[in-house]
Amino acid sequence: MYEYCEKLKIERRDNGVLVITLDNPPTNAFEGAMHDELYMVLEDLNRDKETKVVVITGAGDRAFSAGGDINEMKRLLGEPKDAIKGFADAKRLLNALLRLERPLIARINGHAVGLGATVALFADLAYATENAKIADPHVAVGYTAGDGGALIWPQLIGFMRAREYLLTGDPILGKDAAAIGLINKAVPPEELDAVVYGMADRLAAGASVALNLTKQAINLPLRRYFEGMIDASLFFEAISEFSDDHREAVHAFLEKRKPKFTGK
């Protein structure tokens, strides 16, 4: 059913748990193919009668996903039409995450950054290793945090805390993220599978109709909030896409120097 996947690994376990692995080494950064495949898988899952619970994780132990690819950002500096399409694709992916009917568990096996953090935090349950870094550093590359971060961080940890992390781009360790409610739990790496798959197996053995509908009921306010703000948020991010500061941030990152922002 998921034979089209090249950047995602799909594993179907015997008890109805399906595992999606983001597989774009070395940091599982999102780029066109993986972005599109994840959207298609999420859509197909709502027609997959064999799957009861979904786990999403990253390949290896370095990163869940490092988010956007800096080389792709450089390419988009000269391809405005592709940049705008990217924002439309982001809306489509986030909508699919919120409308997934099965419970979704994020297994944050390493750093989750930018869109990687957003995907993990849009899950119904999230478990991380204690030292995994979770961050939305859009501002560090001259971007507005418009592709989901401005929605989900305030809902999980409140506006004051969310502002601090989104306006600075500072990371938070898994153990601290769990302490403030950004994720469910943080554990040593060797305990992550037991926690994640223990919960996945428990949910898979439960009353699927009741679980699926409870999950959808919980997500109704998020879906309404999403519909009310996502177009404006992505418009704000699109404005920042064409700013001098974003261009400077991309070149500075590639040249391994500190960016000199001008506020333009």
Q: Is the pLDDT of residue 51 over 90?
A: yes
Report how far residue 29's alpha carbon sits from residue 96's, in angstroms, rounded to the nearest whole number: 19
The hierarchical CATH code for the domain 8-190 is 3.90.226.10
What span, in angstroms and rounded, lies between the C-alpha atoms of 155 and 148? 11
Decide the pairing of beta strands 104-108 and 125-129: parallel
Position 86 pLDDT exceeds 80:
yes
pLDDT at 146 over 90: no
Q: What phi, psi does 186 have (nearest 5°)?
A: -125, 135
Residue written as tokens 């409870």?
214
Burial of 116 (0-12, 13-18, 19+ CB in 10 A): buried
CA–CA distances in Å: residue 177 to residues 64, 98, 202: 15, 21, 24
The pLDDT value recorded for residue 227 is 94
Q: What is the number of alpha carbons within 13 Å of residue 95 lying toward its C-beta?
A: 14
- Please report, rounded to a whole number, the percentage of residues in the chain having pLDDT higher than 70: 100
- Lowest-confidence region among 38-47, 71-80, 99-108, 134-143: 71-80
Q: Is the pLDDT of residue 176 over 90?
A: yes
Rounded CA gap, 205 and 165, in Å? 37
Averaged pLDDT, 111-125 = 97
| pLDDT tens digit sequence for 205-223 | 999 999 999 999 999 999 9
* DSSP states along 5-30: -SSEEEEE-TTSEEEEEE--TTTT-B
For the chain, the average pLDDT equals 95
CA atoms within 13 A on the CB side of 110: 18
Residue type, 148: G
Q: Tell whether the model's pLDDT for residue 115 goes beyond 80.
A: yes
**Which of the 8 DSSP states describes residue 205?**
T
User: 158: alpha, beta or left, given left = phi > 0 and alpha = psi -120 to 50?
Assistant: left
3-state secondary structure of 173: strand
Q: Give me the residue spans of the domains in the chain.
A: 8-190
pLDDT tens column, 224-256? 999 999 999 999 999 999 999 999 999 999 999
Confidence of residue 123 (pLDDT cuts 50, 70, 90): very high
pLDDT band at residue 80, thresholds of 50, 70 and 90?
confident
Q: 32 pLDDT exceeds 80?
A: no
